[in-house]
A and B are shown apart, each in its own frame.
Chain A
Amino acid sequence: MATEDGAAEIPYDGSRWQRPTAFRNRKVKWAAYIGAALFVLWSIVSLLSGVTISRVVYGLGNGFLLVESMFPPETSTVNLERVGVYMAETIAMAFVATFTGVLISLPIAVGAAENLAPWPLYYLNRGIISITRAIDELIIAIIAVKAVGVGPLAGIIAISYLTIGFFSKLFAEDIEDIDMGAKEAVEATGASRFQTFVYAVIPQVAPRFVGLTVYRWDINIRASTIIGIVGAGGIGTLLMRSFNRYEYDFAGTILIAIIVVVLAGELFSAYVRRRVQ
């Protein structure tokens, strides 16, 4: 009773209410904001302190010269044929790597789904995914080239590896989103674990599986255009060579070819994903 009376004596003051903050209190909040602003300022000053206006103008001029020398792009039959051959290799690499990558990802994704996997398996597979995702594609491509030599095999290994981290993680999350009630109901009929999986889990995730595969395939096409730069096969090999030889007009041709293929892949992937979802 006493506490009730005490509480009643404090008047409700409209100015006292403040929106709760995600930080501990308002002082911490402002300290965090100011700290972040100072850090950005320091980064800009320390990175750009040596850059003068005349240096920027000089650099821009060089940039224009480079772009200018790419036009008109090289169109000799020999070089167009070479672009065609290397582009075919690029697309083939993306296909094979998507296939092997997705194949390896499937068991990892199922194992990394919290609602299906027992916890030791869950942590093991989550660990595999985190480690796979930690290293960037170019580093993996360099290692693969060192391991199996220059050529598309290194590219396939590198892109498959990247597919695993991406695909397993996203697909595991999709599996975690399924309606467990349906799974439970199928279990309740006396179905085996395998039957429950094919009957109650697969139908729920199949459309996402197709969508994710096509999406990753489209990313893989883009990835396989770049990793040739470190010797892992595909059109990047040709692009690097043309730069080294100062054949900028040929580099222009290659860049246009890359843009066309990547855009086509993206359009196709967007279309398929719209259809299945």
Chain B
Amino acid sequence: MLETIDLRKVYPTGDEALTGVSTTVDGNEIVAMIGPSGAGKSTFIRCINRLTEPTDGEIRLDGSELTALGESEMKAARRNIGMVFQEYNLVERLTVMENVLSGRLGYVSNWAALRRKFPPEDVERAYDVLETVGLDGMENKRADELSGGQRQRVGIARAVVQEPKILLADEPTSSLDPESSHAVMELLADIAAEEDIPIIINIHEVPLAVEYADRILGLHDGELVFDGPTDGLDENAKDVIYRGADASETTNEAVAKTRTDNNAISEQAADKPTAAGD
């Protein structure tokens, strides 16, 4: 179970990316986090495994408080958190198998890492996971020979081979075409069920989120403005997530303001698929 309590992040520039986010993710639910660009979605996900250091608040994974851990303890804790990235972030010159096995690095010695020598059960698990993600037979291809969709599958395999307690996915579909996007979302949903772990997915495309997620988290300006089952995401909730709380006011002034905001947002939305994340 992942629990965040009043999670806050202020960047050195003074930007408050998260204003105190509290939520709980449990079981094998698929949680989609939506919100406009710059709302803090990436920051939230990256704070969980402390690739970005949170300013304030607590993060607990199965009871242990991640925010209190020292550097080496945090390294050990990261083994329990799988992460999938927008740009796949594979080591392009290494083979698919080496990339997948890098998910086991936290369990082997430095010397073994140098010689690429992993225990046989790790290699077996890597083969299994490659089959799960549909890349069986590709283990000796170099990562840079693969297509975008295939690379993201390697990225997912690397996270799954960790046998994590939770999976984080930061815009896993933003660099992919619609068809591959659906395939990747389906794969993530299968993995949540099969591995019995929760998944938090940052995502720009609301329809994809609605189609695959059990629950939606809506961020606006670093504030958690929506947290509920996917069915509860009506037009009003989307307004609040994408336009801010005052969009629901109905005075003439507010409507006029919403209109101008609206334009700004649809422009932003048009930019989103090409933007390199938040």
How many residues of chain B get a CB closer than 8 Å to chain A's CBs?
Answer: 33
> Which of A85-93, A110-118, A177-185 forms part of the interface with chain B?
A177-185
Q: A188, B91: Cβ atoms under 8 Å?
A: no
Bound Cα distance from A194 to B108, whole angstroms: 12
What separation, in Å, do the CA atoms of A184 and B89 have in the docked complex? 8
Q: Which residues of B contact A196 (CB under 8 A)?
A: 105
For the complex of A and B, the 3 pairs showing the least CB-CB separation, nearest first, are A190-B106, A185-B89, A190-B79
- Assess whether A186 is interfacial by the CB under 8 Å rule: yes
B92/A195 in contact, CB under 8 A: no
Contact B85 A191 (CB under 8 A): no
A202 → chain B, closest Cβ, in Å?
9
Collect the chain A residues with CB atoms within 8 Å of residue B93's CB. Answer: 203-204, 206-207
Other 12 A-B pairs with CB < 8 A, given A181-B89, A185-B90: A181-B85, A181-B87, A182-B91, A184-B51, A184-B89, A187-B51, A189-B106, A189-B159, A190-B78, A194-B113, A195-B108, A204-B91
- CB pair A190 B75 closer than 8 Å: yes
**Alpha-carbon distance A200/B105, docked complex (angstroms):** 11
**Within 8 Å CB of B105, what residues of A?**
186, 189-192, 195-196, 199
Chain A nearest Cβ from B170, distance in angstroms: 10
A38 interface hit (Cβ, 8 Å) = no
Among residues of B, the one whose C-beta sits closest to the C-beta of A181 is B89
Q: Tell yes or no: A41 within 8 A of B by CB.
A: no
The interface on chain A, measured as residues whose beta carbon lies within 8 A of the other chain's beta carbons, has a size of 22
Inter-chain contact B89/A182, CB cutoff 8 Å: yes
Query: Closest chain A residue to B50 by CB distance?
Result: A188
Greatest chain A CB density within 10 A among B91, B110, B159, B162 is at B91
The complex places the Cα of A199 from the Cα of B112 at a distance, in Å, of 11
A198 touches B114 (CB 8 A): yes
- CB-nearest residue of chain A to B49: A188
B78 CB, nearest partner CB in chain A, Å: 4
Q: Are B51 and A189 in contact, with the CB atoms below 8 A?
A: no
Report which residue of B92, B103, B113 has the largest number of chain A beta carbons within 10 angstroms of its beta carbon: B113
In the complex, chain A residues whose CB is within 8 Å of the CB of B41? none
The total of Cβ contacts below 8 Å across the A-B interface reads: 84
B75 pairs with A192, CB closer than 8 A: yes
Q: What's the minimum C-beta distance from A175 to chain B, rounded to whole angstroms? A: 14
CB A205 to nearest CB in B, in angstroms, measures 10
For chain B residues 108-160, which have a beta carbon within 8 Å of chain A?
A: 108, 110, 113-114, 155, 158-159
**Distance of B276 from chain A, by nearest CB (Å):** 10
Task: Please list the residues of chain B having a beta carbon within 8 angstroms of any beta carbon in chain A.
Answer: 49, 51, 75-79, 81-83, 85, 87-94, 98, 102-106, 108, 110, 113-114, 155, 158-159, 162
What are 25 A-B contacts defined by CB distance under 8 Å? A179-B92, A182-B90, A185-B89, A185-B158, A186-B102, A188-B83, A189-B78, A190-B77, A190-B78, A190-B106, A190-B162, A191-B75, A192-B110, A194-B110, A195-B105, A196-B105, A198-B110, A198-B114, A199-B94, A199-B102, A199-B113, A200-B91, A203-B93, A204-B91, A207-B93
Indicate which residue in A187, A194, A195, A199 contacts B91 across the interface (CB closer than 8 Å): A199
Q: Which residues does chain B contribute within 8 Å of A184, judged by CB atoms?
A: 51, 85, 89
Residues from chain B with a CB closer than 8 A to the CB of A203 are 91, 93-94
Q: Roughly how many angstroms separate A207 CA and B77 CA in the complex, as a whole number? A: 34
Chain B hits for A187, CB < 8 A: 51, 78
B-side contacts of A189, CB under 8 Å: 78-79, 82-83, 102-106, 158-159, 162
Chain B CB within 10 Å — which of A186, A189, A198, A207 has the most? A189
Q: Which of A186, A191, A194, A207 has the most CB of B within 10 A?
A: A191
Contact with B along A79-106 (1 / 0, CB 8 A): 0000000000000000000000000000
**Nearest-neighbor residue (CB-CB) of B93 within chain A:** A203
Known: A182-B92, A203-B91. A191 touches B102 (CB 8 A): yes
- From residue A97, how far is it (CB to closest CB) to chain B in Å? 28
B93 to chain A, nearest CB (A): 5
Chain A residue contacts of B98, Cβ below 8 A: 199
